[in-house]
Amino acid sequence: METTVRNKQVILKHYINGFPEESDLMIVTAPDAMEVKVKPGSSTILVKNLFLSCDPYMGTFMREPDSGSSEVAVETLSLLDAFIPGKVTTLHTQTNTWFQLAIVVNAFVQPIAGVGVSEVIDSDDPCFAKGDFVWGIVDWEEYSTVNSFGRFKIDISINVPLSYYTGILSVTGLTAYAGFFEICSPKKGEAVFVSAAAGAVGQLVGQFAKLMGCYVVGSAGSKQKVDLLLNKFGFDDAFNYKEEPDLDAALKRSLPQGIDIYFENVGGKMLDSVLMNMKVHGRIAVCGMISQYHIETQEGIKNLPVVVYKRIKMQGFLAFDFIDRFPKYLEFVLPYLNERKLVYVEDIVEGVENGPAALVGLFHGQNIGKQVLKIA
């Protein structure tokens, strides 16, 4: 094995306004060779990153820390900080492609970061050994030096793809489980509506609801995704919100008796329409509001008084609020995976150089299922 490597990384070129673009990110190669070992006494771990998770929340970290959503995110999610734009000098440009391969000449460049699956190459931490596979927060780069905090060892005796630990067997899965079961407390026969239902979290929430004996409806942004909900994930009904001029009418058509549980991923007009269709004592788990992350003026919610007179429980949350439930979640989900009672769809893009396109595609609905970047 090589004793040194030139580490390729994905960095934020500059803070963004509006929707992220591929040109807001840059692929860089560190100028100095990196030793493939850790310093004795450092208690650190050197990992080779294999799979990186592309998630909508990452867009909020591309904005200046004092410009709204990223500041809130930094205050509430201590495992990550707002991404720091890198300063690079381009010594070589590859033609016929959108990105630039650059050599970093500055002393410090911080890659963007997110959930990743990695192989331990060297370790000075007694809890991890060379050859272990782990998941946790890592920088978007080929090799990372990390500590054990927030690092979870993967049980390789569980016969699932390693990429699952970017999603269904990590933060994504815990998000779906905690929001649906811990916040919404479902009962058999209840009516469940899931927005962004063909995404990483939505596909799981819908299937969890079906396993509980609920009636499940989802919304998505294309015919292909609607077909996926109906024919692969087992939703009872689904609609393409882009083809519905009246969301209230679409909800009444699919859920004429009203909604007991809404798993919120979108916000804006969708949330406003859902509120009018909620039943008394309905529950709403607010996982995200992707429609609002990158617009200059966020849409107001006119129907919020419904929460009062229908006595609706509406709660925002982060997966890390429920990290102590993770073992319980694995006990719940693994038998369903082994018995093929859960379907999990991934959209895997290969190569670190394709990371910006994979991540930005999320904000335009280009992914089908969980978006994953395969590094090695």
**192 domain-assigned:** yes
What is the pLDDT at residue 5? Answer: 85
Same domain? 115 vs 200: no
Same domain? 157 vs 181: no
**What is the number of other CB atoms lying within 10 angstroms of the CB of residue 331?**
9
State how far the Cα of 231 lies from the Cα of 93, in Å rounded to an integer. Answer: 45
User: Which tokens is 333 given?
Assistant: 């989900």
**325 domain-assigned:** no
Same domain? 217 vs 127: no
Question: Are 277 and 251 a contacting pair, CB within 8 Å?
Answer: yes
Going along 208-342, which residue ranges are E strands?
Answer: 215-220, 237-240, 259-264, 278-286, 313-316
SS (H, E, C) 167-203: CCCCHHHHHHHHHHHHHCCCCCCCEEEECCCCCCCHH
What is the pLDDT at residue 79? Answer: 52
Specify the pairing of strand 215-220 against strand 191-194: parallel
Per-residue pLDDT reduced to its tens digit, 305-334:
999 999 999 999 999 899 999 999 999 999
Same domain? 176 vs 154: no
**327 domain-assigned:** no
Same domain? 123 vs 261: no
Same domain? 96 vs 210: no
pLDDT tens digits, the chain, 376 residues: what are they? Answer: 568 888 999 999 998 888 889 999 999 998 788 888 989 999 999 999 999 999 988 988 888 876 444 444 444 444 566 788 875 433 333 333 333 333 333 445 789 999 999 999 999 999 999 999 999 999 999 999 999 888 999 999 999 999 999 999 999 999 999 999 999 999 999 999 999 999 999 999 999 999 999 999 999 999 999 999 999 999 999 999 999 999 999 999 999 999 999 999 999 999 999 999 999 999 999 999 888 887 778 888 999 999 999 999 999 999 989 999 999 999 999 999 999 999 999 999 999 999 999 999 998 888 999 999 999 7
Element (H, E) at 227: helix 223-231
**340 domain-assigned:** no
**337 domain-assigned:** no
Q: What's the CATH code of the domain at 314? A: 3.40.50.720
| Structural domains in the chain (count) | 2
Same domain? 16 vs 151: yes
Same domain? 282 vs 133: no
Element (H, E) at 247: helix 247-254
Buried b (16+ CB within 10 A) or exposed e, 139-162: bbbbbbbbebeebbebeeeeebeb
Same domain? 149 vs 242: no
Query: What's the whole-model pTM score?
Result: 0.88
Same domain? 213 vs 115: no
**65 domain-assigned:** yes
Q: Which domain holds residue 203?
A: 171-320
Q: What's the CATH code of the domain at 42? A: 3.90.180.10
Same domain? 313 vs 199: yes
**335 domain-assigned:** no
**328 domain-assigned:** no
Closest CA to 16 of 79, 54, 53, 69: 69
Same domain? 152 vs 182: no
State how far the Cα of 129 lies from the Cα of 124, in Å rounded to an integer. Answer: 8
